[in-house]
Amino acid sequence: MYGKILVATMGEYMDEIIDHTVDLLHGRDAEIIAIYVVETSVPFLTPKKVKEMMIDELTARGKEILADMEKALTDPDKPHITFRSIMLEGNPADEIVKTAEKEKVDVIVMGTGKSIVDKHLLGSVSEKVVHHAPCTIHLVRTA
Amino acid sequence: MSVGDILIEIIFLIGALIVSLIIVIKSADVFVDNIVEIGSAMGISQIILGVTASAIGTSLPEFGSAMIASLSGSAELGVGTVIGSNIWNIAGILGISATVAGVIATDSKGLKRDALAVLGTGFILIFFMLFGDIDWKASIVMIALYLVYLWMLIKAQKDYAKETNEDSDDKDKKTKISKLESINKKQAALALLGLGGLIVGCRILVYSGTELAAIAGIPEMIMGLFTLAIGTSIPELVVTLSSAMKGLHELSIGTVLGSNTFNILIGIGVPALFMAIPVEPLSLSFDAPVMIFVTLLLIGLIKAGGNKLNRVGGLILLATYITYAVLRLYVLA
């Protein structure tokens, strides 16, 4: 049923999200695309050097997360999984939706993310993706 | 002057205050940005430039205002801006950031160094205040201490670069060769433009601040402690809040602590080189101790939260700021 899966994570609850993704497959062959989006937006009056520093740090973190995911999803007991990773810059929700459209994935797996208070204060990537995704979404309860 | 004229003047001054703040903050950014480019073209280490730029980048508006205020005979406004900024940075900005982001984690080694530096500089300031006016002798000690602190930051960053296997020397050499030819007039012009904007912007900022204080009949110290302090700390607010929301915790707390050390040692230290900075009794007995109290409170809250500043801690800091503002504006004024 699910031949191509887009897994989105910002690094938190990664183990739960990976477990759920593997479980969805029931051992069937599938291509997993892991995506990490470096959020580049900063408020007005943020110094340029600080913005560059933020993007550098987030990029380094993204690389680490994607490498960890590759390690977890390509071990010898998962020969049925083909793994690919994508790192993009921009608005996380927009980029996840765009990638899902471009890659014609069957399902997006991501975490529900935050508590209700955090969702109100920080906004929620998963909520935005839910409203605009072109495919089925598997939301892993993480908070 | 009629009531209408006064109203128009107040609106004009508030407009000038806001516009000059934007000019000051943008100019500081352009200045730092181009100085870093020129510095790297001259072969100065990327680590030294990076550390220095992030240490002074967000604090130039406070320094500029304090400097211009002192030189134009409103030293109280300058001292108020510096002390007010330091209280607002910790209790206001970290309070807001921890409340919104939910948590700000800290790397205990860096925190220890930076928090001790803030605490130490706070005590040094009080020590010099006890002798009355802050003069050039105190100024030299403060500037020298800041240079030592900067050297410690650069050393820590070099060690970190070594740990993460970044061959900094090699990188430096490459930068030297590749960028040596790229010193251009545009960068020099932009750096000068930034500096000019900073000076002109700070002058307008200080002018509108002092005029507003005179019209509204409030002391210049209060104007500095609140209006200018919060205004010139906008860069710290945007950087601290957005980095906390992005999970870049070290940058978040580091911005505030680094800025506080700079504000005192340079924001008061450098103007004191040119003229004796007068000390208001209430600054010595209330504002400066509050500044030290909020630093201690922050350290306590981080320790209690297991090296994290959590939402409850953020709310406690915010409540502390509000209490301070009410006491300062209504009870002690």
Tell me the shortest Cα–Cα distance from B281 to chain A, in angstroms.
35
Residue closest to B143 by CA, chosen among B237, B281, B268: B268
Q: Which residues does A contribute to its contact with B (CB < 8 Å)?
A: 10-11, 39, 42-50, 53-54, 57-58, 61, 114-115, 117-118, 121-122
Which structural domain range is residue B80 located in?
46-167+219-331
| Identity of the residue in B28, B239, B311 whose CB atom sits nearest the CB atom of A46 | B239
Q: How confident is the model at residue A84 (pLDDT cuts 50, 70, 90)?
A: very high
pLDDT of residue B231: 92
Residue B185 lies in a domain: no
Please indicate, yes or no, if residue B9 is contained in any of the structural domains: no
Instruction: With CA atoms as reference, report the closest residue to B73 among B187, B223, B207.
Output: B207
Check if B241 contacts A (Cβ < 8 Å).
yes
> Least CA distance to A45: which residue of chain B?
B235
Taking CA–CA distances from A121, the nearest residue in chain B reads: B100
Tell me the β-bridge partners of A35.
Answer: A8, A86
Query: Chain A to chain B, count of Cβ pairs less than 8 Å apart?
Result: 70
Interface test with B, best of A49, A55, A57 (most B CBs within 10 A): A49
What is the average pLDDT value for chain B, to the nearest integer? 88
How close is the nearest chain A Cα to the Cα of B329, in Å? 29
Q: Could you tell me if B86 and B257 are in contact, meaning their C-beta atoms sit under 8 angstroms apart?
A: no
CA distance, residue A120 to nearest chain B CA (Å): 9
**B312 contacts chain A (CB < 8 A):** no
CA–CA dist B138, B127 (Å, integer): 10
CA distance B105 to B252: 9
In a domain, B158, yes or no: yes
Asked if B241 and A43 come within 8 Å (Cβ–Cβ), the reply is yes
| The two three-digit tokens of residue B103, written as one number | 């948590």
In a domain? residue B22: no
- Within 10 A of B103 (CB to CB), how many other CB atoms are there? 17
User: What pLDDT sits at residue B296?
Assistant: 96
Q: Which of B255, B268, B230 is nearest to B54 (CA)?
A: B255
Tell me the nearest-neighbour CA distance from A77 into chain B, angstroms.
32
Kindly report the nearest CA distance between residue A75 and chain B, in angstroms: 26
Query: What pLDDT band is residue B39 in, cutting at 50, 70 and 90?
Result: confident
Q: How many domains does chain B fold into?
A: 1
The Cα B257–Cα B65 span in angstroms is 19
Q: Report if residue B325 sits inside a domain.
A: yes
Residue B129 in this model has a pLDDT that exceeds 90: yes
Tokens at A136, concatenated: 């089925």
Q: Is B171 exposed, middle or buried (0-12, 13-18, 19+ CB in 10 A)?
A: middle
With a cut of 50, say whether residue B6 has pLDDT above it: yes
Contact in structure between B181 and B191 (CB atoms under 8 Å): no
Is the CB of A53 less than 8 angstroms away from the CB of B251?
yes
For residue A6, give the 3-state DSSP assignment: strand
Give the distance, in angstroms, between the CA of residue B270 and the centroid of all CA atoms in the same chain.
14
Residue B149, classed as helix, strand or coil, is: helix
**Within-domain flag for B139:** yes
CA distance B156 to A4: 45
The alpha carbon of residue A95 is apart from the nearest alpha carbon of chain B, in Å, by 17
Q: What pLDDT was estimated at residue B316?
A: 98
DSSP, res A140: E
Confidence of residue A118 (pLDDT cuts 50, 70, 90): confident
Q: What pLDDT was estimated at residue A27?
A: 84
What value does the mean pLDDT take over residues B91-95? 97
**What ipTM did this prediction achieve?**
0.84
| B29 closest CB neighbour out of A48, A118, A121 | A48
Q: What is the pLDDT of residue B175?
A: 47
Q: Give Cα A111 distance to the centre of its chain.
A: 9
Proportion of chain A above pLDDT 70, given as a percent: 97
Lowest mean pLDDT among B178-187, B201-210, B233-242: B178-187
| pLDDT value at residue B50 | 77
CATH code of B315's domain: 1.20.1420.30
- For residue range B247-292, list pLDDT tens digits in order: 888 888 888 999 999 999 999 999 999 999 998 888 899 999 999 9
Residue A21, phi then psi, degrees to nearest 5: -60, -45
Task: Determine the Cα–Cα distance for residues B67 and B2; give it in Å rounded to an integer.
Answer: 34
* Mean pLDDT for the stretch of residues A105-120: 82
What pLDDT does B169 receive? 47
8 Å CB contact of A47 and B29? yes
What pLDDT is recorded for position B172? Answer: 47
Residues B261, B266, B269, B270, Cα dihedral to 10°: 180
pLDDT in tens, A1-42: 788 999 998 877 888 899 999 998 888 899 999 999 999 888
Q: Compute the C-alpha angle A129/A130/A132, nearest 5°.
A: 65
Query: Which burial class, exposed, middle or buried, applies to B320 when counting CB atoms under 10 A from its CB (0-12, 13-18, 19+)?
Result: buried
Residues of A whose CB is below 8 A from B54: 49-50, 53
Highest mean pLDDT: which of A107-116, B70-79, B247-256, B308-317?
B308-317
**Which residues, 6+ apart, have CB-to-CB distance to A87 below 8 Å?**
A35, A36, A37, A38, A59, A62, A63, A66
- Note whether residue B177 is domain-resident: no
Residue pair A33/A84 in contact by the 8 Å Cβ criterion:
yes
Give yes or no for residue B170 having a pLDDT over 50.
no
Q: How confident is the model at residue B173 (pLDDT cuts 50, 70, 90)?
A: very low
Given pLDDT bands bounded at 50, 70 and 90, which one contains residue B181?
low
Residue B206 included in any domain: no
Q: What is the dihedral of CA B175, B179, B180, B182, to 10 degrees?
A: -170
Determine the residue among B36, B243, B256 to mutate to test chain A binding: the one whose Cβ has the most chain A Cβ atoms within 10 Å.
B243
pLDDT at B332 over 60: yes
Q: Please report which confidence band the pLDDT of residue B17 belongs to, taking 50, 70 and 90 as the band edges.
A: very high
